[in-house]
Homo-oligomer: A and B are copies of this chain.
C-alpha cells in the first residue's frame, strides 16, 4: 500500500500505520506524506521506506506506481489528508486502478462524494471509509443483536459524541488538528457535525440498519470567533418510524472522546460506550441487565471474527481501526475485476456510507438555518 498525507505532524496518519501493523497482512511500501517534499522524505525515512518510493506528490506516486510490475506495485492507497484534499487524490487513485481507503468524511462536499460514488461504480474498485467506531467488535455484536429480532422493533435512539478539546480557541495556538477542522475552506460546511457528528450518525444507522430520514437541528459556534459549528444537537426521525436524538459537541469541557449510544426497543435496550469498547450492555423489560464482553464464546461470529485477544485483555481504538483494514483486505483478496463488490459482506464502510455522511452534513446545516422544524436528508 501507499499513503497520501500522514506526515510527521499528522494525527491520523500514524494511527493508520499502527493499525495496519497489528495484523501483518498489509505492508506500507510507498507514500506522498506531505505537500512539503522535505517532510514527505523525512517521514518516509522514519518509516524505513525505500527512498525511491517516497514521492514528492501523489500525482508522482500514481504516475510511477501504476507503471510498476503487478507483484511490486501497491494494491491500494490510504488517503489521510484534511477534507479538502480527499476528492482529488481519491479520483486519481481510482482512475489509476488502485483501491482506496479514505479518512472520513469522504469529501469536502456532497457533490464531490457523488462523483466518487460514480467513479467507484464505473471502475468496480474498492473504496473503504474509516468510520473507525463501527470497527469495534461489540458494535458489530449490537448490530447483529438488532438483526436477530430478540429485542423487537427499534423505538428510540440516543447517540452522543461529546469531546472537550475545542472548548477554548486552540486553533489560534498552533494546534494543527484544530486549525484545519475549524476552517471552512479546509473542513467544508460542517465543523463538529462533520468531524464527529458523522461518526455518531453512521454508528446509529449501522447498528439499527435504518437510515435517518429527517432532522431538526441546532448548531452553535460556542467559542467566540469560531466560524464553523463546534456544538450540535438534533432530533431525529428514522425511516423505520423510530425517533431519536443526536448530540455532537467539541466544547464539552472535560470530555475525552465519549461517543456512546443507547437504543431502546420493544423488549429491551442496548448501550455501548466507545471509551469502554469491549462492553455491550443489554437491558430487558423483565429480567436482569446483561453485560456482554469481548472475547467470550457466546458472541456472534460477526463480532468474534474481529477479536484478537481472550476476554479481559482489552483491545482499543487501534484494533478497531485495524478491523476496517482487515475487512477491506479480505475484500481485496477476493477482488476480481468486473465483479461487483458487496462491502456489507466483508463489513466495512464504503462509498455509499460516504455519500450518506455528506448528505447528512449538508441536510443538518440546512436544517440549522431553517425555521421549519423538520428537514429531510437528501443525497
Query: Which A residues form the contact surface with B (CB < 8 A)?
Result: 11, 14-15, 17-18, 20-24, 47-48, 155-156, 158, 160, 162-165, 167-168, 216, 218, 220, 222, 231, 233-235, 243-245, 247, 249, 251-258, 262, 264-269, 274-277, 282-293, 295-298, 308-319, 370-374
B-chain residues with CB within 8 Å of residue A287 when the two chains form the complex: 298
Number of copies of this chain that the complex holds? 4
- Of chain B, the residue at the smallest CB distance from A20 is B21
3 closest residue pairs by CB, A with B: A254-B283, A256-B312, A257-B312
Least distance between A32 CB and chain B CB atoms (Å) = 18
Q: Is there an interface contact between A314 and B313, defined as CB atoms closer than 8 Å?
A: no
Most buried by B among A156, A295, A308: A156
With A18-B23, A288-B292 known, 8 other A-B pairs at CB within 8 A are A253-B266, A254-B264, A256-B312, A275-B312, A276-B276, A308-B318, A309-B317, A315-B316
Q: Is there an interface contact between A268 and B289, defined as CB atoms closer than 8 Å?
A: no
Q: Is there an interface contact between B370 and A156, defined as CB atoms closer than 8 Å?
A: no
B-chain residues with CB within 8 Å of residue A247 when the two chains form the complex: 158, 245
Q: Is there an interface contact between A283 and B253, defined as CB atoms closer than 8 Å?
A: yes
- Partner among B269, B289, B309 whose Cβ is within 8 Å of the Cβ of A318: B309
B-chain residues with CB within 8 Å of residue A233 when the two chains form the complex: 235, 243-245
Least distance between A35 CB and chain B CB atoms (Å) = 23
- Partner among B15, B243, B284, B295 whose Cβ is within 8 Å of the Cβ of A254: B284
